[in-house]
């Protein structure tokens, strides 16, 4: 968890498919095979869970996600509704508001020359603008990150110490999140209200609507926070790339995608074989868990030139940090807009920055995250 690179390199070099005896799992660390499994939902299903647990044989600790943990046809209607709710037209209406919010936050944070970029920027900005857009009340938003942290930890082994640590708090956090997804809790002009309106129109059932809202709160906060942490860490440790962004601010979205490739905030996801298949000529039985190491695929030298380098001259499109295929992250454009707003505001005001203390990782079985990123900034 501190440095997954060396282990991932061992797995890539071992072969296109690596059998992990401890968990009876077939692991894929090369880009070609990870991409292949991500796009073939017929052979490698998500409905049995995108974590290590197999929902065919184990009861999930919460109702499965209608997007992440469902396949067509059950997956289709929720996906279509959510894709419309967070589509280009919606983002155009949010753009001006979010850019203004980023300017306001950056002005306040830069009153100090040293601060923690994780808590003051990477966490503060998404927790301000995204729940507002969903339409949930301000009170209790501090529950979102610990809820998401346990959710992603639970994709790993159920007996892992990180899962055990979060389990006592899970009922309270889950109850709070579920409550926010109910119609009466949501503001009338947010994403959540539009999802409930889709249920009124018959595009979803009333039972599906709160689960689709929950998908926004489950996957739309932590991954963006850690993606922003990644890009801020990248620029604090690559001053030449920061200079390039300041000279070419239109590269803000490229920078975010390159950071998602380089850091891979979501490190792993699982699929389950629906029948006996072959992967790269290796026979894999039916009903077996397939571990896709997204972070390893995003550093595969067979796909990427100098993969360990954060480089704004690279075209990072095709990375699997947001998944691929029908289950590709439906909110990725929301995350990109948040990143563009924050980076644009910072590029106008920060001439140079560097780390100002130890960088601490936040451990999670699925996520690659930062606990703390102390930085020192020099004005433009």
CATH of the domain at 127: 1.10.630.10
Residue 219's pLDDT is 79
Q: Sign of the CA dihedral 342, 345, 348, 351?
A: negative
Average pLDDT on 7-27 reads 97
pTM here?
0.95
346 is written with which tokens?
């910072």
Residue range 60-113, pLDDT digits in tens: 988 899 999 999 999 999 999 999 999 999 999 999 999 999 999 999 999 999
Residue 17's pLDDT is 98
Residue 220's pLDDT is 82
Cis status, amide bond into 137, omega within 30 of 0: no
Query: What range does the domain containing 83 cover?
Result: 5-379
pLDDT at 122 over 90: yes
Residue 267's pLDDT is 97
Instruction: Please state, in angstroms and rounded to a whole number, the distance separating the CA atoms of residues 154 and 163.
Output: 6
pLDDT at 355 over 90: yes
Residue 380's pLDDT is 87
Residue 155's pLDDT is 96
Residue range 219-266, pLDDT digits in tens: 789 999 999 999 999 999 999 999 999 999 999 999 999 999 999 999
Map tokens 């999802």 to a residue: 195
Helix, strand and coil in the chain, % to nearest 5: 50, 15, 35
Reported residue count of the chain is 380
Residue 157's pLDDT is 94
Stated as kind and residue range, the H or E segment containing 268 is strand 268-273
Residue range 269-279, pLDDT digits in tens: 999 999 999 99
- Alpha-carbon Rg of the chain, whole angstroms? 20
What DSSP character marks residue 124? H
By the 10 Å C-beta count (0-12 exposed, 13-18 middle, 19+ buried), 255 is classed as buried
Chain CA centroid to CA 354, Å: 25
Q: Count other Cβ atoms within 10 Å, centred on residue 128.
A: 17
Q: Count other Cβ atoms within 10 Å, centred on residue 92.
A: 10
Residue 218's pLDDT is 84
What is the percent of the chain where pLDDT is above 90? 97
Number of independent structural domains in the chain: 1
Alpha helices in the chain (DSSP H): 5-14, 31-39, 76-85, 88-109, 117, 124-134, 144-153, 161-166, 170-180, 191-200, 208-219, 222-237, 239-247, 252-263, 294-297, 332-349
């Amino acid at each position: 968890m501190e440095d997954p690179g060396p282990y991932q390199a061992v797995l890539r070099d071992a072969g296109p498919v690596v059998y992990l005896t401890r968990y009876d799992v077939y692991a894929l660390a090369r880009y070609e095979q990870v991409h292949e499994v991500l796009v073939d939902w017929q052979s490698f299903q998500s409905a049995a869970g995108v974590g290590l647990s197999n929902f065919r044989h184990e009861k999930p600790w919460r109702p499965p996600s209608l997007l992440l943990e469902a396949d067509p046809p059950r997956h289709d209607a929720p996906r279509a509704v959510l894709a419309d709710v967070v589509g280009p037209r919606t983002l155009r209406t949010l753009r001006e508001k979010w850019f203004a919010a980023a300017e306001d936050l950056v002005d306040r944070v830069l009153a100090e020359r040293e601060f923690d970029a994780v808590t003051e920027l990477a966490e503060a900005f998404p927790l301000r603008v995204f729940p507002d857009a969903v339409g949930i009340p301000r009170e209790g938003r501090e529950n979102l990150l610990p809820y998401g942290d346990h959710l992603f930890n639970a994709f790993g082994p159920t007996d892992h110490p990180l899962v055990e640590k979060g389990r006592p708090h899970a009922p309270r956090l889950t109850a709070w999140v579920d409550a926010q997804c109910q119609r009466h809790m949501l503001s009338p002009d947010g994403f959540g209200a539009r999802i409930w309106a889709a249920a009124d129109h018959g595009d979803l059932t009333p039972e599906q609507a709160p689960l689709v809202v929950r998908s926004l709160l489950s996957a739309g906060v932590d991954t963006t926070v850690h993606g922003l942490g990644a890009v801020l860490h990248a620029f604090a440790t690559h001053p030449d790339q920061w200079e390039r962004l300041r000279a070419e601010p239109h590269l803000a979205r490229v920078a975010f995608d390159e950071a998602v490739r380089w850091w891979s905030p979501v490190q792993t996801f699982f699929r389950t074989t629906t029948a006996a298949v072959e992967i790269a000529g290796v026979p894999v039985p039916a009903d077996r868990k397939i571990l896709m190491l997204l972070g390893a695929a995003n550093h595969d030298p067979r796909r990427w030139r100098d993969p360990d380098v954060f480089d704004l001259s690279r075209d990072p499109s095709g990375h699997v940090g947001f998944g691929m295929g029908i289950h590709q992250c439906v909110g990725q454009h929301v995350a990109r807009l948040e990143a563009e707003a924050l980076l644009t505001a910072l590029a106008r005001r920060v001439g140079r920055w560097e780390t100002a203390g130890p960088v601490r990782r936040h451990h999670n079985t699925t996520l690659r995250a930062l606990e703390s990123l102390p930085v020192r900034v020099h004005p433009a």
